[in-house]
């Protein structure tokens, strides 16, 4: 029994606990969910610390230069005839993602504190969803990885379709279908790799030992990249994201934009880039251009949005572009920046969607043109919103800057396989998005929080409750800690990135 299995067992057990809570004690459910996710959060911190110790102990081990060393490994045969195992383990990248997920789900539960409608199913699905996400991050076996990936995608349909707002059925269907199509691409890629490696194992590190032919990589790489890219909001497959996020209930938006979209970047790094360096070299330019479009175009599209959630969703499209952009740089800083951006954007967008939910719960509107002057009534929420906004426009001292500057340097430094002037033009274009981001973030925030109170009803609104303060406080603190002292994150991920870079 590995520690890691606890990460999927605890949410599952919590889901079970939520399900068996009698209807008369509905308020107990949120406490159960909070305790369960709180334990997971604590566990994730303990494991990160343990991981750091382990990394320091084996510093300088030359055999680990091109293979990701997993910690807390644990393998049990599953379908042994096909070489499929329940094989779990983590390296620094997945550790960072696990911490991110734990933070987001904990705060997500806090943000759903007042969900009363079918709260049994809501919390249960939420916890099942997060089980899938944890499962993806701890899987070493790619088949297991894929299974958990699907587990993570499916509850989303119900969560949006049932508890959502607006065109929820349409959005839920669109999101699920697009992600399913994406995962079909991924599956094709995985099976191709499995087959090429002799159809004996799905183990990531064993697959990594195989020398795939350039021809194979040249078609499998784009398959996997696009497949995961759909989840990572790769242009032009990002359109599920605005609709999906706009319709989803608060905690689901948080989890989805905060964590699930990161599965895309994570998958690209873990499967596409790690296993197929040759394919990456061939396709880097193409995807670099696509992600540049992502970044710039998402930012411009965000300017014109009037719905607060659409606004944030487009900003997510733009910011998730940085993740994929960094991955296309194919160098240490690019990868590092991408992983930091995954973490940073996860926290940031979790904060955004959490806050939007809280503001919407009070003002009953998400239309920017109908809001105004809310900071007088809700200073806490306004302050948190401003900090989130400043993080998203890359203000130093908050985590966004650490990520974006690393990605920019990575892009500018380029690599040997892509024409350097193209890389630089793309990088500068991507860099220019920080101005556009400033424009839309400041406009949006000014509309909502500054000026005179636009609607007399707003005079009755209250500031955040204790649960909401805790929720936003944790997220803001995380943004600030990573932003002010980046080594906490960089030390965690760097050792895991070096082997991937060394494969190039």
Partner 1 sequence: MTGFIFENAWLIPAMPLIAILLIAVLARGENRGLAGMIGSAAIGVAFLMTCWLGVSYLRLADQGAAAVTWSIEWLRYQDHLVVSLGTLIDPISLLLLVVVTSVSLLVHVYSLGYMAGDEGFSRYYVFLSLFTFSMLGLVLAPNLVQMYVFWELVGVSSFLLIGFYYTLPEAIAASKKAFIVTRFADLFFLAGILVLGFYVHQLVVAGGSAASVVGAATTQTQALDFATINADSVLLALKGQTGIFGTDLLTVAMLLVFVGAAGKSAMFPLHVWLPDAMAGPTPVSALIHAATMVVAGVYLVARMFPGFAASEDALRVVAAVGSFTCLFAAVIACTQTDIKRVLAFSTLSQIGYMMLALGVASAEHPAGFGASMFHLYTHAFFKALLFLGAGSVIHAVGSNEVTEMGGLRKKMPWTHATFLTATLAIAGVPPLAGFFSKDEILGAAWDGHHALIFGVGVFVASLTAFYMFRLYILTFLGGCRSAEAERAHESPPVMTIPLVVLGVMSLCGGWIGVSHFVLPGVELHAHLAVMGISVAAAAVGIGAAFWMYGGQTNRAETIARSLGGVYRLVKHKFYIDEIYLFLTHMIFRFIAAPAAWFDRHVVDGAMNLSAAVVHRFAAGMNVFQTGQVQTYGIWMINGTILVMVFLWLVQR
Residue of 36, 265, 267, 486 interacting with partner 1 (CB under 8 A):
486
Nearer to partner 1, 38 or 397 (CB): 397
Q: How far apart are CA 220 and CA 213, in angstroms?
A: 11
Q: How far apart are CA 452 and CA 210, in angstroms?
A: 64
For residue 67, CA distances in Å to 63, 89, 284, 297 come to 8, 13, 22, 36
Torsion of CA 406, 407, 409, 410, to 10 degrees: 110
- Binding window for partner 1 (CB under 8 A); candidates: 33-41, 115-123, 188-196, 400-408: 400-408
Nearer to partner 1, 31 or 170 (CB): 170
Binding mask 142-181 for partner 1 (x = CB under 8 A): --------------------------------x--xx---
Q: Concatenated DSSP letters for 393-419?
A: TT-TTSHHHHHHHHHHHHHHH--SSS-
Q: Which of 98, 67, 104, 72 is nearest to 87 (CA)?
A: 72
Yes or no: say if 251 and 199 are a contact pair by the CB < 8 Å rule.
no
**Is 443 one of the binding residues for partner 1 (CB under 8 A)?**
yes
Q: Report how far apart the first and last C-alpha atoms of the chain are (Å, whole number).
A: 35
**Is 325 one of the binding residues for partner 1 (CB under 8 A)?**
no
Least spacing, CB of residue 411 vs partner 1, in Å: 8
- Binding window for partner 1 (CB under 8 A); candidates: 24-32, 71-79, 80-88, 329-337: 329-337
**Is 406 one of the binding residues for partner 1 (CB under 8 A)?**
yes
Nearer to partner 1, 72 or 408 (CB): 408
Size of interface with partner 1, in residues (CB under 8 A): 58
* The two structure tokens encoding residue 382: 């306004």
For residue 242, CA distances in Å to 266, 310, 312, 463, 472 come to 21, 5, 8, 27, 22
Query: Footprint of partner 1 on residues 205-264 (CB under 8 A)?
Result: 235-240, 242-243
- Binding window for partner 1 (CB under 8 A); candidates: 106-114, 209-217, 284-292, 483-491: 483-491
Nearer to partner 1, 136 or 368 (CB): 368
Least spacing, CB of residue 119 vs partner 1, in Å: 33
Q: How far apart are CA 128 and CA 125, in angstroms?
A: 5
Torsion of CA 30, 34, 40, 43, to 10 degrees: -160
Binding mask 90-119 for partner 1 (x = CB under 8 A): ------------------------------
Nearer to partner 1, 274 or 412 (CB): 412
- Binding window for partner 1 (CB under 8 A); candidates: 91-99, 212-220, 261-269, 405-413: 405-413
Q: How far apart are CA 251 and CA 357, in angstroms?
A: 8
DSSP 268: I
Q: How far apart are CA 62 and CA 283, in angstroms?
A: 30
* The two structure tokens encoding residue 423: 């890389």
**Is 431 one of the binding residues for partner 1 (CB under 8 A)?**
yes
Nearer to partner 1, 140 or 295 (CB): 295
Which residues are at the interface with partner 1 (CB under 8 A)?
A: 174, 177-178, 235-240, 242-243, 297, 300-301, 303-305, 314, 332-333, 336, 373, 375-376, 390, 393-397, 401-402, 405-406, 408-409, 412-413, 427-428, 431-432, 434-435, 438-439, 442-443, 446, 449-452, 485-487, 490, 494
């Amino acid at each position: 029994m590995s520690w890691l299995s606890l990460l999927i067992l605890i949410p599952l057990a919590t889901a079970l606990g939520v399900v068996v809570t009698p209807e008369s004690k509905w308020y107990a459910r949120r406490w159960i969910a909070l305790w369960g996710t709180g334990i997971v959060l604590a566990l994730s911190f303990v494991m990160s610390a343990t991981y750091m110790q382990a990394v320091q102990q084996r510093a300088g081990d030359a055999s680990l230069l091109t293979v990701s060393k997993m910690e807390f490994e644990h393998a049990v045969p599953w379908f042994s005839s096909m070489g499929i195992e329940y094989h779990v383990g983590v390296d620094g990248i997945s550790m960072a993602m696990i911490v991110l997920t734990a933070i987001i789900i904990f705060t997500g539960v806090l943000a759903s504190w007042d969900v009363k409608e079918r709260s049994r199913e809501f919390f249960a699905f939420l916890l099942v969803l997060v089980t899938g996400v944890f499962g993806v991050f701890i899987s070493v076996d790619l088949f297991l990885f894929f299974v958990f990936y699907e587990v993570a995608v499916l509850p989303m349909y119900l969560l949006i379709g049932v508890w959502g707002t607006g065109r929820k059925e349409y959005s839920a269907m669109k999101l699920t279908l697009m992600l399913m199509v994406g995962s079909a691409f991924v599956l094709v890629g995985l099976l191709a790799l499995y087959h090429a490696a002799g159809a004996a194992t799905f183990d990531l590190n064993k697959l990594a030992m195989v020398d795939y032919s350039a021809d194979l990589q040249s078609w499998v790489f784009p398959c996997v990249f696009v497949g995961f890219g759909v989840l990572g909001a790769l242009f032009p497959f990002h359109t599920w994201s605005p609709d999906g996020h706009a319709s989803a209930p608060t905690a689901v938006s948080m989890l989805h934009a905060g964590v699930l979209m990161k599965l895309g970047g994570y998958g690209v790094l873990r499967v596409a880039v790690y296993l197929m360096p040759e394919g990456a070299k061939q396709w880097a330019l193409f995807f670099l251009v696509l992600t540049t479009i992502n970044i710039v175009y998402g930012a411009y599209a965000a300017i014109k949005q009037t719905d607060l959630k659409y606004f944030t969703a487009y900003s997510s499209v733009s910011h998730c572009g940085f993740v994929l952009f960094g991955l296309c740089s194919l160098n240490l800083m690019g990868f590092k920046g991408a992983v930091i951006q995954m973490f940073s954007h996860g926290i940031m967008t979790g904060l955004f969607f959490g806050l939007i939910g809280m503001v919407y719960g009070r003002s009953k509107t998400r239309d920017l043109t109908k809001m105004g002057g809310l900071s007088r009534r809700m200073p806490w929420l306004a302050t948190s919103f401003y900090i989130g906004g400043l993080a998203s426009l890359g203000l130093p001292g908050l985590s966004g800057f650490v990520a974006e500057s690393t990605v920019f340097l990575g892009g500018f430094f380029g690599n040997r396989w892509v024409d350097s002037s193209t890389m630089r033009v793309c990088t500068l274009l991507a860099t220019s998005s920080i101005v556009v981001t400033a424009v839309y973030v400041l406009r949006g925030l000014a509309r909502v929080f500054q000026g005179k109170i636009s609607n007399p009803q707003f005079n009755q609104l209250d500031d955040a409750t204790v649960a909401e303060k805790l929720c936003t406080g944790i997220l803001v603190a995380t943004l600030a800690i990573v932003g002010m002292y980046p080594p906490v994150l960089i030390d965690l991920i760097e050792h895991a990135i070096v082997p991937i870079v060394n494969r190039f």
